[in-house]
Amino acid sequence: MAIQVGEKIPAGAFKQKSAEGVSEITTQALFGGKKVVLVAVPGAFTPTCSAKHLPGYVEAAAAFSAKGIDIVAFMAVNDVFVMEAWGQDQSVAGKVSLLADGLGEYTRALGMEADLSAAGLGMRSKRFALVVDDGTVTHVAVEDSPGVLDVSSAESVLAAL
Q: Phi/psi zone of residue 148: left (φ > 0), alpha (ψ -120 to 50 degrees), beta?
A: beta
pLDDT in tens, 137-157: 999 999 998 789 999 999 999
Does residue 42 sit within a domain? yes
Domain that includes residue 132, residue range:
37-154
CATH of the domain at 120: 3.40.30.10
Q: What is the count of structural domains for the chain? A: 1
pLDDT in tens, 70-119: 999 999 999 999 999 999 999 999 999 999 999 999 999 999 998 787 88
State the Cα–Cα distance between residues 140 and 160, nearest whole angstrom. 10
Does residue 83 sit within a domain? yes
Does residue 128 sit within a domain? yes
What residues are labeled active site? 49
pTM of the predicted structure, to 2 decimals:
0.95
Does residue 160 sit within a domain? no
